[in-house]
Structure 1
């Protein structure tokens, strides 16, 4: 593999310098001087044209996501890897939508980080497995889900959900709606799937937040 040029953007100098030293030990990685803010990052990128930018999510008062957006708009060929102490699926989704090639926790081991860097240069993507399911869940939601998640339900499913909000058991729901318990169970599972919920309690909480009483 040809040598890759890497820029670290992080406002924690001890972490950043230690990481830069470790990466520089790899024969195929050349590390640029560390920068700590968005202005320095954009200036260094314009000057050096790195292959990969390792970008912190929080840069003082700046957001790494804003820097990501600017990098991808001006230099679409540059790969951006978010390296952060934050584990937030919504922020991860924003980074993925913004064009980040990978999302890495700062606790990641050096060998794995190097493997991910080599992978993104080849066009691969990566995120922690524990975040993957949550991120995919958010990416596959309907466009208006956050505004009105209950809109995806049929009238019958709304009736079942309203019974759940009222605290009725599955047998009580079946009796009230004149359906079998198997049908009530099927409606319940469909509701959980459509609302991206993992339990009845979570679905009830979501319904209450969106006005169902």
Structure 2
């Protein structure tokens, strides 16, 4: 695989530099210059074209949501993972609804941050397991488009629907492969295809859409 280009957006210089130094040791990650504010974040996003943006929610007097909105508007292919000291479920749901595909606390170790970055680059995502159920409940409740969502699912092949059902059941790629008797690469292909058909950017978005359309854990 090609190295993953990562842009850290954080105004806490010591934390950002320490994280950058630690992630630089990962052979498959290319850590770009750190952005400390919205202006630099947008400039580096345009010139350096990161695949994954690791974003703090508070940038001095500015909000990380401003970066998120503008990056998603101009570069929708960039995957945004929030890494923040905030512990606010409402903010988490808001960020996910506006296009973030992961939310991590700054208390988490760098190993998990690296794993989430890799997952994000492969169209995966991350929400703390202890709040995942509540986050999905709020996302499902607050986006009422059941007819449109059901129509989107109608375009999936039977196998893609099986893979999506496994995702709703909370299974990872290896577990889906075992349940359906497929290889991990085949599951990845089906996952990429169903995300493209649904117009989703992450597994979490696809699961939310599926649950809005009436799909539930089996």
Shift of 1:143: 5.8
* Deviation at residue 48 of structure 1 after TM alignment: 0.7
- The residue number in structure 2 matching 1:134 is 134
1:137: how far off?
Answer: 2.4
Alignment root-mean-square deviation, CA: 1.3
The verdict on how the C-alpha distance between 1:143 and 1:26 changes in structure 2, with shifts beyond 3 A counting, is: closer
CA distance in 2, matches of 1:83, 1:143: 25
The alpha-carbon distance between structure 1 residues 22 and 69, as it changes in their structure 2 partners (threshold 3 A), is: same
1:49 maps to which residue? Answer: 49
Tell me, in whole angstroms, the C-alpha distance in 2 between the residues paired with 1:111 and 1:22: 9
What is aligned with 2:104?
Answer: 104
Aligned position for 2:14: 14
* Runs of at least 5 residues in structure 2 that lack an aligned partner in the other structure: 145-218
Q: Who is 2:34 aligned against? A: 34
Q: Which residue of 2 aligns with 1:87?
A: 87
Q: Give unpaired runs (5+ residues) of structure 1.
A: 145-213
SS at match of 1:68: helix
The residue number in structure 2 matching 1:65 is 65
Alignment of structure 1 residues 131-170 onto 2, 5 Å: 131-141=131-141
2 CA distance for matches of 1:43 and 1:13? 18
Residue aligned with 1:7, SS: strand
Give CA-to-partner distance per residue, 1:141-173, whole Å, 9 cap, x none. 2569xxxxxxxxxxxxxxxxxxxxxxxxxxxxx
CA distance in structure 1 between the partners assigned to 2:63 and 2:131 by the alignment: 20
**d(CA) in 2 for partners of 1:6 and 1:37?**
16
Tell me the CA shift for residue 75 of structure 1.
Answer: 0.1
Q: State the alpha-carbon separation in 1 of the partners of residues 26 and 138 from structure 2.
A: 36
Query: Matched residues in 1 for 2:140 and 2:77: separation?
Result: 26
Where 2:6 maps in the other structure, the secondary structure is: strand
Residues of 2 paired with 1:53 and 1:103: CA distance?
12
The CA distance in 1 between the partners of 2:70 and 2:41, in whole Å, is 10
What do residues 185-211 of structure 1 show as CA deviations (whole Å, max 9, x unaligned)?
Answer: xxxxxxxxxxxxxxxxxxxxxxxxxxx
Q: Secondary structure at the match of 2:141?
A: coil
User: Residue 214 of structure 2 aligns with which residue?
Assistant: none
**Cα 1:94–1:29 shift into 2, 3 Å:** same
The higher relative CO (CA closer than 8 Å, separation ≥ 6) is in 2
